[in-house]
Amino acid sequence: MLRKNVIKRWLMPLLLVELLTGCAGRSPRLSPMSDVPALPPEARQPATPSICLPTCSAGLTSARESWRGSLTSAASPAGSASAVTTR
């Protein structure tokens, strides 16, 4: 029942947009891509330095795998959390 209400609420604005678009005198025009200016040089990503090697990425990936392995293979807690404690 809740799922039907969510779907109905999602479809109502969509239906309204479809009706308004269908009643429009003409379709809206999109601006051509040439109207979008190119990024200025200071906003562009710099070139990769010559000291960076493709093996750096592989080394980082293997280091992450090693770190992840050490985190998941850590010692388990001493006792169960559901164990009964006494005083």
Structure tokens at 68: 């992840």
pTM over 0.85: no
- One-letter amino acid for residue 52 of the chain: C
How far apart (Å, rounded) are the C-alpha atoms in residues 27 and 31?
13
- pLDDT classification of 76: cutoffs 50, 70, 90: low
Whether 87 has a pLDDT exceeding 70, the answer reads no
SS3 63: helix
